């Protein structure tokens, strides 16, 4: 049996935020990640931009500091350009990512804080004892073993710790509808300085739809940019509707997405000037999953919280990314944050209903289907993850959940904005 103060499940933005927050608050921390690297969707699904670090508007007003800022500063120190870029069409600010330097930077930042990282290891079981999780089962390369902590953070994106702990769940929007998944693709072999003409990309999609039995629904040519520091082209255009959470559906989405990615690059080579030498540099390792299941929290952030930019004396993290819904594949819908340009995530949204020592970070926090379209981005996940990690550290130390004022004070103490 291995003992920790805090065990964090998942090593995406939320898990990294949670582990850093808990360690800075003095806890002995273990982070468990099923892949061989950290970063979550940024490194396992080629989601190559951090959204949610800044408010929308003329100037980049930062709403996530603390652990998220520590990661950006580490990347900066490794020569990654952390400049925020503003979309001329939406007014949103993003930070572009280099996935390989991100993996290395995250290894370093967690090592510097003395966090035990277990890669190739997944949370596969949990023992629930009344209103507490008493231990978890970790399945690694050398088999399964038990580990104990005073408190736990579910930062798995898919609520896998909560699932094995028997927490109540809602799939998708409550009626079972799931946000579409997307296969982000990275295309190499392009000349320096190539200017992308959206109309030509739209024409390529029309040609793709003519050639392929699987169709691309994003007739507007989707979202694309250059991969920072390279001539590679990053494209979010292949959406796959997810009917359910069965392995059969995920297998089909992965396989058809892959077929489509190869055919799309063939079409670009054949039809778009500048793409004659293009090749598919990367998909994956897995497709980008927007939504799976939501574990029961003590509060769900609401559509109105986002639209009104609601601030709260219960707030433990700020969130500023607009609502971005992909309920119908290929037809995203946007709604912007009101008020001063950010809303608060209240403490109860990161607390598991009915469990005293389980916290949520990232896209598993409590949110209604509209608010979920905002809170799931990675910048915000650093913030909610850090709040969950610090709350877990305090819970482990005291044996009981902290008062919100104590948590807010501890978060400010570790450099977070609340």
Ligand X SMILES: Cc1cc2nc3c(=O)[nH]c(=O)nc-3n(C[C@H](O)[C@H](O)[C@H](O)COP(=O)(O)OP(=O)(O)OC[C@H]3O[C@@H](n4cnc5c(N)ncnc54)[C@H](O)[C@@H]3O)c2cc1C
CB of 162 to ligand X, least distance (A): 10
DSSP per-residue letters across 144-196: EEEEEEEEEEE-SSS-HHHHHTT--EEETTTTS--PPEEEEEEEE---TTPPP
* CB 358, CB 396: distance < 8 Å: no
Residue 387 CA to residue 407 CA, distance in Å, equals: 8
Q: Which is nearer to ligand X, 89 or 199 (CB)?
A: 89
Distance of alpha carbon 176 from the chain centroid: 21
Q: Which is nearer to ligand X, 334 or 403 (CB)?
A: 334
Question: Residue 311 gets which letter from DSSP?
Answer: -
Provide the b/e sequence for 336-354 (b: ≥16 CB within 10 Å).
Answer: bbeeebbbbbbbbbbbbee
Provide the b/e sequence for 391-409 (b: ≥16 CB within 10 Å).
Answer: bbbbbbbeeebbebeebbe
Closest to 117 (Cα-Cα) out of 8, 30, 219, 23: 30
Element (H, E) at 383: helix 378-398
Beta strands 132-140 and 143-154: pairing type? antiparallel
CB of 13 to ligand X, least distance (A): 4
Contacts of 4 (CB under 8 A, 6+ apart): 27, 28, 29, 30, 116, 147, 148, 149, 150
Dihedral sign, Cα of residue 38, residue 334, residue 307, residue 367: negative
Separation in Å, CA 31 to CA 10, 45, 120, 373? 7, 20, 11, 26
CB of 191 to ligand X, least distance (A): 25
Interacting residue ranges for ligand X, rule: CB under 6 A: 9-15, 32-35, 40-41, 44, 47, 49-52, 122-123, 155-158, 160, 182, 184, 236, 288-290, 362-363, 376-379, 381
Q: Which is nearer to ligand X, 144 or 398 (CB)?
A: 144
Residue 5 — φ and ψ, nearest 5°? -80, -45
Beta strands 122-129 and 116-118: pairing type? unpaired
Residue 350 CA to residue 385 CA, distance in Å, equals: 9
Q: Which is nearer to ligand X, 173 or 207 (CB)?
A: 173
Q: Which is nearer to ligand X, 12 or 369 (CB)?
A: 12
CB of 340 to ligand X, least distance (A): 21
Q: Which is nearer to ligand X, 169 or 203 (CB)?
A: 169
Q: Which is nearer to ligand X, 158 or 328 (CB)?
A: 158
CB of 326 to ligand X, least distance (A): 8
Residue 374 CA to residue 367 CA, distance in Å, equals: 9
CB of 50 to ligand X, least distance (A): 5
CB half-sphere exposure, 258, CA atoms < 13 A: 12
Q: Which is nearer to ligand X, 218 or 376 (CB)?
A: 376
Here the tokens at position 350 are: 């990161």
Q: Which is nearer to ligand X, 37 or 299 (CB)?
A: 37
Contacts of 127 (CB under 8 A, 6+ apart): 133, 134, 135, 136
CB of 277 to ligand X, least distance (A): 26
Q: Which is nearer to ligand X, 137 or 231 (CB)?
A: 137
């Amino acid at each position: 049996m291995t003992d920790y103060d805090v065990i964090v499940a998942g090593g995406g933005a939320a898990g990294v935020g949670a582990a850093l927050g808990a360690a800075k608050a003095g806890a002995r921390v273990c982070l468990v990640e099923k892949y061989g690297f950290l970063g979550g969707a940024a490194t396992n699904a080629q989601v190559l931009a951090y959204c949610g670090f800044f408010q929308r508007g003329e100037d980049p007003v930062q709403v996530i500091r603390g652990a998220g800022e520590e990661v950006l500063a580490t990347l900066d120190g490794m020569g990654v350009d952390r400049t925020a870029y503003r979309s001329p069409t939406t007014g949103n600010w993003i930070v572009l990512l280099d996935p390989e330097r991100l993996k290395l930077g995250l290894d370093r930042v967690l090592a510097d804080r003395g966090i035990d990282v277990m890669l190739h290891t997944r949370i596969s079981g949990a023992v629930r004892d009344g209103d507490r999780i008493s231990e978890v089962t970790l399945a690694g390369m050398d088999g399964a073993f038990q580990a104990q902590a005073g408190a736990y953070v579910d930062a798995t994106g898919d609520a896998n710790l909560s699932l094995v702990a028997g927490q109540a769940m809602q799939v998708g929007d409550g009626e079972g509808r799931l946000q579409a998944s997307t296969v982000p693709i990275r295309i190499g072999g392009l000349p320096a300085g190539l200017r992308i003409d959206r109309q030509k990309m739209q024409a390529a999609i029309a040609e793709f739809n003519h050639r392929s039995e699987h169709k691309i629904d994003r007739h507007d040519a989707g979202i694309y940019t250059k991969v920072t520091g390279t001539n590679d082209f990053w494209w979010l255009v292949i959406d796959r509707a997810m009917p359910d959470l069965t392995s059969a559906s995920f297998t089909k989405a992965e396989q058809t997405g892959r077929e489509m990615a190869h055919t799309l690059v063939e079409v670009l080579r054949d039809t778009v000037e500048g793409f004659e030498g293009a090749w598919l540099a990367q998909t994956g390792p897995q497709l980008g999953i927007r939504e799976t299941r939501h574990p029961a929290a003590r509060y769900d952030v609401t559509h109105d919280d986002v639209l009104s930019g609601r601030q709260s004396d219960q707030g433990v993290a700020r969130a500023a990314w607009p609502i971005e819904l992909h309920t119908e594949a290929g037809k995203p819908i946007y709604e912007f944050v009101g008020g001063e340009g950010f809303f608060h995530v209240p403490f109860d949204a990161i607390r598991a209903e009915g469990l005293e020592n389980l916290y949520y970070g990232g896209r598993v926090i409590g949110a209604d289907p509209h608010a979920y379209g905002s809170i799931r981005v990675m910048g915000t996940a650093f913030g909610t993850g850090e709040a969950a990690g610090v709350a877990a550290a305090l819970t482990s130390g005291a044996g009981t959940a902290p008062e919100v004022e104590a948590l807010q004070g501890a978060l400010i103490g570790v450099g977070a904005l609340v």
